[in-house]
Amino acid sequence: MDSSTRHILPGDEVDSASHQENLHYYLVEHRRWKKKTLQARCLIGLMTLICCILIVVLIVTYESGRRKSRSTRESSKREGQGTAGDVNLIKFIHLSDIHYDPFYNKMISSSSYCRQQVANSTAKYIAEYGRIGCDSPAMLVENSLDAMKNVSQEEDIAFILMTGDLSAHQMWTSYAGPQRVLDNIATVSKQMHSRFPNIPIFPMIGNNDLPGHYVLPKAGDDWYQKVLSSWESLIICSECPGSVKKPTTQAILQESFLEGGYYNASIADGKVVLLVLNSLYWSVAVKRSVETDQKASKQLVWLENQLKLVKSRGQKAMLASHIPAGIDTFDSKPYWFNNYTEIYVRLVTKNYSDVVIGQFFAHSHKDDFRLQMFEPETSITAKSFVLLAPAISPVYHNNPAFRLVSLDTDQLSLADYTQYYMDLVMATQFSNPVWQVDYTFSKKYPSKNTLVNAERIYELNEQLINQTSDTFWNGYAFSRETNYQPMSYNRFTLYCGMRFVDFPNFQKCTQKYSVPGG
Ligand SMILES: *[C@@H]1O[C@H](CO)[C@@H](O)[C@H](O)[C@H]1NC(C)=O
Ligand SMILES: *[C@@H]1O[C@H](CO)[C@@H](O)[C@H](O)[C@H]1NC(C)=O
Ligand SMILES: *[C@@H]1O[C@H](CO)[C@@H](O)[C@H](O)[C@H]1NC(C)=O
Ligand SMILES: *[C@@H]1O[C@H](CO)[C@@H](O)[C@H](O)[C@H]1NC(C)=O
Ligand SMILES: *[C@@H]1O[C@H](CO)[C@@H](O)[C@H](O)[C@H]1NC(C)=O
Ligand SMILES: *[C@@H]1O[C@H](CO)[C@@H](O)[C@H](O)[C@H]1NC(C)=O
Ligand SMILES: [Zn+2]
């Protein structure tokens, strides 16, 4: 650098007469220049240092801000208070129909149900994370739970609803058996517990979690005892830290669960009671016996007593189970016997519509909604509604999906939910399962009503056959199989199925709309 600067110094052209003077001039200039570069270097150094400090300060401020907002959210949640305009929300995960299949073989096609034991029909491609048309391999179960765990690192999750069918389809054949169902339930429960040891997990019985398909345990059978051995610590939250309020006690849990696979639990700091039902007792697919009929009625009496208790204590109730009341739009048949549907719907609409703030069911493996209205023809009608969660198992032409639901603990109403899904075709093609947000209810179905309640679902239902706007319909129809190719459907069957819980009114509705198609 020195040699090059020398050439551009003034008076550097050689002139022997003024050589001394030039040299002196040069030395002075050089010293001055050296001083200047030193100053410049110091300045640059100083500025770099200041920049570094600024960046560090910024990062620290941002991080502590994040931590602070998180802890404010937590503490305001615990104390049930927040600053004006603050909404107190608790969040929970609703997942369903995992259908864990230990016999899954990634090389076998869906025509053999991905099981070598069924037939050796080799598939055209390897499907490590699951195949459309088959139940979930261990890889998919673990990956789904990891995705939920990832969500829990961004959001505080208070509890988890797992609305049934932990075990795969067809586990009672010669190659498996009832013990395999219990083993599958144990495996899934353990996997869940290991990822969420600090919050309550509320599992429920599905039609594939029984000693036979739609076969309820008989008197003297210790099935519920065996299932509860996998679930008790999850429900009671026995290994949770002391700061987590216990949802129920072992004695209360055992009393109802060993009777019929149902139970109650305290959530949202005791403001809400979760009533977990075993709706198999009301299912048309279960062969009737004196015992099942007795237990079916007994559970409805239990439900009524619980709702009475909840109301008398000024609390609200959330109901959850596997098979919902209402119509299966796949075959246009009712899910439950009419007599049980009637009693149930009377309870949640007429007598306790002000108590029941939401119902969480599944079984259809579809993202869907159901309305329940008492005397639907009259205008002054109390309504209730059901959120049907999609499945983890991709067996019915659907992508795996789960929901993060938020509950407003001031208004004691559901506030919103966000659905996450994994595109199975892409995951298989690129050997890389990626979970992403599917949609958020409030954004997909915008409304003046900002809560998720019966009025809002009623409005959504109306919009499905709105001739001037197809927005809601398009969103709904594409979501049902969580972004996999939609199966063929009849638009009016879906509309009527969502609207009417009882079979006669559903039939009247579908007859009214005579043009088929979607
Ligand atoms: C499938 O192939 C395996 C290994 O070759 C064989 O043991 C099994 O019996 C076959 N199963 C069927 C259903 O053909
Ligand atoms: C969880 O998050 C990590 C870090 O972002 C990511 O590498 C991983 O793939 C995620 N897991 C799932 C199942 O999405
Ligand atoms: C659950 O039900 C029992 C009665 O069987 C009752 O004593 C208990 O308080 C209930 N728990 C909650 C959280 O409502
Ligand atoms: C409800 O209907 C089922 C099926 O017809 C029947 O077996 C059962 O006894 C009925 N229960 C009541 C309480 O009416
Ligand atoms: C529910 O409503 C019906 C009809 O009004 C009534 O007969 C019944 O006693 C009510 N039950 C309760 C628990 O309030
Ligand atoms: C149909 O949708 C339009 C546009 O969103 C709305 O203005 C209208 O009120 C809707 N009609 C009914 C019957 O819901
Ligand atoms: Zn299922």
Per-residue confidence (pLDDT) for residue 378, from 0 to 100: 66
| Residue 365 backbone zone (phi > 0: left; psi -120 to 50: alpha; other: beta) | left
Which residues are near ligand 7, the ion (C-beta closer than 5 Å)? 97, 165
Question: For 165-205, what is each residue's pLDDT tens digit?
Answer: 999 999 998 889 999 999 999 999 999 999 999 999 999 99
What is the whole-number distance in angstroms between the Cα of residue 188 and the centre of ligand 1?
28
Instruction: Give the global pTM.
Output: 0.84
Where do we find the tokens 């109390």?
382
Lowest-confidence range among 11-20, 319-328, 474-483? 11-20
> In the predicted model, what is the mean pLDDT of the chain?
88
Q: Which two tokens stand for residue 35?
A: 């001083």
CB 465 within 8 A of CB 491: yes
The amino acid at 342: E
pLDDT mean over 441-462: 96
Identify the three-state secondary structure at position 356. strand
**How many other C-beta atoms can be found within 10 angstroms of the C-beta atom of residue 70?**
13
Q: How far is the CA of 248 from the centre of ligand 7 (A)?
A: 27
Q: What is the band of 286 on the pLDDT scale with cuts at 50, 70, 90? A: very high
Give the residue from 362, 356, 289 showing the smallest Cα distance to 321.
362
Tell me how crowded residue 288 is: count the other CB atoms within 10 A of its CB. Answer: 10
Summarised one tens digit per residue, pLDDT across range 357-406 is 999 999 999 999 999 997 766 666 789 999 999 999 999 999 999 999 99
Atom of ligand 3 nearest to the CA of 313: 14
Q: Which DSSP category does 364 fall into?
A: S
pLDDT mean over 272-286: 98
- Closest ligand, as measured to the CA of 470: 6
Mean pLDDT of 313-337: 97
Mean pLDDT calculated for residue range 411-437 = 97
Sheet holding 413-422, edge to edge: 201-203, 157-162, 89-95, 401-408, 413-422, 435-440
Q: Which atom of ligand 5 is nearest to the CA of 307?
A: 13
| Predicted local distance difference test score (pLDDT) of residue 75 | 41
> Which atom in ligand 6 lies closest to the alpha carbon of residue 467?
1
CA separation (Å) from 18 to 8, 11, 32, 33? Answer: 18, 9, 21, 22
